Structure 1
């Protein structure tokens, strides 16, 4: 009986060399003869890869080739020769993303370095890019202070600093919870990342002196729940997802804390990226009569499953019994995730499985479905809601699709897309003189740096801007905070190219002329374009004028800023 098992090769994974190494180990482990290596490879790779081999070997057949010839044919097809300069350029641009752990960031760097041909200088290049791409300024400065630090030492120091920072946050939250919980048990205090709080008010300004003073000294921020004064909270300009009021997060909202919701059972996960690095599953009983939970039917690996809609949960989950009943054939991958109930008791997660999910005409592959021990009904969270493009949810009736919108989306798919549209006409910037004007980047507040970085990465990913190493023109940026807390990147062009622009003067029509044009009309439509200015392309000779200087480097607008 053979030892081990090899699954068919997935052409979409593009990891042929790693698969071949596993095949060779399987051959060695089972002492397979040389004349049987080709039949073994053809048998285990699967139908799709075998069809590819037949196409690559045509007019001959794969059976007529040697093992090494088949391996090389598939490798050359899946991984053509790459440009070393381009691969190193991509490697140098890699930065730690918001919310990305150091281990994930380092793993991605190592993956990018495999095609850079660093050879003997691999660890030196990994060290330099790892440190320069850190999102935490204080951590980077701490590593810079070390003299002649090696790659492994830099990684160990960064991981230690990250662990210390997390421990400090958890310890701070725990101490606040213990101080404020009157009569709480010691076991509850040890468990809880959630703090026990009493309602504000009741005693008025003339409350008892000692009790009021003691409570004020250890009070948590009413905006986010952490231990700091409310006037210094970073979430002061954030909008609550529940009441839509500015100034606090949904976990501190009165409607969530005091149960001003219709009766029913709601499962949701607290935003870990907003408060801490841990994730908490809440199971809330809302004390009012009325509505039941909302459900939607999706097909998971072809099997119809009725899931409860939960926009407060990031993950989608099923119970262990449901997994054993329908998905026992799928292996569970362990996840480094911490789940806690509303009371603070831990919820055991067995890991997650990768499934294919279909809703209507939308199919997504390899979505993560978490398996919870002693869990309840299947839960559909925000990750799946975004992936399945669920745009409309009715909280009074069942979730349904608008037939008119669906028909229009099918007829004009290029209009109903999340990507930026493109106007057919390009814009050319005419300057009175082409004498370069250059201003250095202005300092960005530390509290906004992460969000500015995220916005620049989004603009670069969608093709609105692109990075350059040198620019004759340079405009400083002004980050503007939107009402929802997002960042808008604005170039201060009034100090650079605005005075030099040749303007086209166009007379605006009067209101009488507009009414005269619209007279006799019966139906009127309105168009609201997303990022309307960004849908117009600049000519290539106009793009260098729009260069902006940031703390991350120089970028040039491909589209109208």
Structure 2
């Protein structure tokens, strides 16, 4: 484990302690004394000083706080370092990016929302508001607005259906465009109902004039036989 970074302490603490507790599980470290010693050791000088400051304020009948009480105290300490008003402003500014899936957008919203001091209910409501206002699809916005009591889970279901359908339709349309590139449509060059194309051979005895249909309009045309006329 690396030392706790001093920039953006709230997020740094959250990421760092989650990593530390994964290590506790992986190496089967269950004793409070060992856990506390490890976070003091690996957390660096700054974290050790913070833990010393918090120690007297932790209510306990023991000489040393339990790991759980120290963890709660540290969580509260670092959460106070966050400007909730500014974090909520950042949350409201998050918009869905072009080509971004709704699932990924909701993940970004939930990550930022964790810094805003929302409770679970209010965070879900805030996510719904952002989805409706800041999504990239007008069709999905209308679909969200049709729901009288929409939840985040319901919104994700709507988005998944829409995004899957759009992706499938695009693939089909691209396939049709590729087929049409090599398709040539032709009309009969002679007025006829049989849809065939005719080739005419003109001899010296024929009149080099023929009636052909151009866009359903009869037109008389002189046909060049390729034979030079003598003077």
TM above 0.5, yes or no, is yes
Is 1:121–2:147 an aligned residue pair? no
Match of 1:15 among 12, 37, 42: 12
Q: Name the structure 1 match of 2:94.
A: 94
Counterparts of 1:154 and 1:176, CA distance in 2: 33
Take 2:145 and 2:71, find their aligned partners in 1: how far apart are those partners?
48
Number of residues of Structure 1 aligned to a counterpart in Structure 2 = 171
- TM-fit CA distance, 1:86: 3.7
Q: 2:33 aligns with which of 11, 32, 35?
A: 35
CA distance in 2, matches of 1:96, 1:176: 30
Residue 47 of structure 2 aligns with which residue?
53
Distance in 2, Cα, partners of 1:168 & 1:50: 55
Q: Does 1:209 align with 2:221?
A: no
Q: Is the 8 A contact 2:103 2:156 kept in 1?
A: no
State the alpha-carbon separation in 1 of the partners of residues 90 and 20 from structure 2. Answer: 31
Shift of 1:136: 1.4
**Kept in 1: contact 2:133–2:141 (CA 8 A):** yes
Structure with larger RCO (C-alpha < 8 A, sep 6+):
2
Q: Paired residue for 2:21? A: 24
Post-superposition offset of 1:173: 0.7
- Cα deviation per residue 1:238-271 (whole Å; 9 max; x = unaligned)? xxxxxxxxxxxxxxxxxxxxxxxxxxxxxxxxxx
Q: Distance in 2 between matches of 1:121 and 1:79?
A: 18
Unmatched tracts of structure 2, length 5 or more:
54-63, 188-231
Q: Which moved more, 1:82-91 or 1:32-41?
A: 82-91
Mapped pair 1:162 → 2:171: no
Cα distance in 1 for partners of 2:185, 2:123 equals 66
Gapped runs of 5+ residues in structure 1? 1-6, 60-64, 183-206, 211-561
Matched, 1:144 2:145: yes
Give a deviation string over 1:318-367, Cα, whole Å, max 9, x none: xxxxxxxxxxxxxxxxxxxxxxxxxxxxxxxxxxxxxxxxxxxxxxxxxx
Aligned to 1:519: none
RMSD: 3.6
With over 3 angstroms needed to count, the CA separation of the structure-2 counterparts of 1:79 and 1:161, relative to structure 1, is same
| Kept in 2: contact 1:97–1:135 (CA 8 A) | yes
Q: How does 1:429-448 map to 2 (within 5 A)?
A: none
**CA distance change for structure 1 residues 108 and 9 in 2, over 3 Å: closer, same or farther?**
farther
The structure with the largest strand share of the pair is 1
The aligned runs of 1:105-504 (5 Å cut-off) are 105-119=105-119, 120-180=121-181, 209=186
CA distance in structure 1 between the aligned counterparts of 2:117 and 2:72, rounded to whole angstroms: 21
The structural deviation recorded for 1:70 is: 8.1
Secondary structure of the residue aligned to 1:177 is helix
- On the 8 A contact 1:84/1:116 being kept in 2, the answer is yes
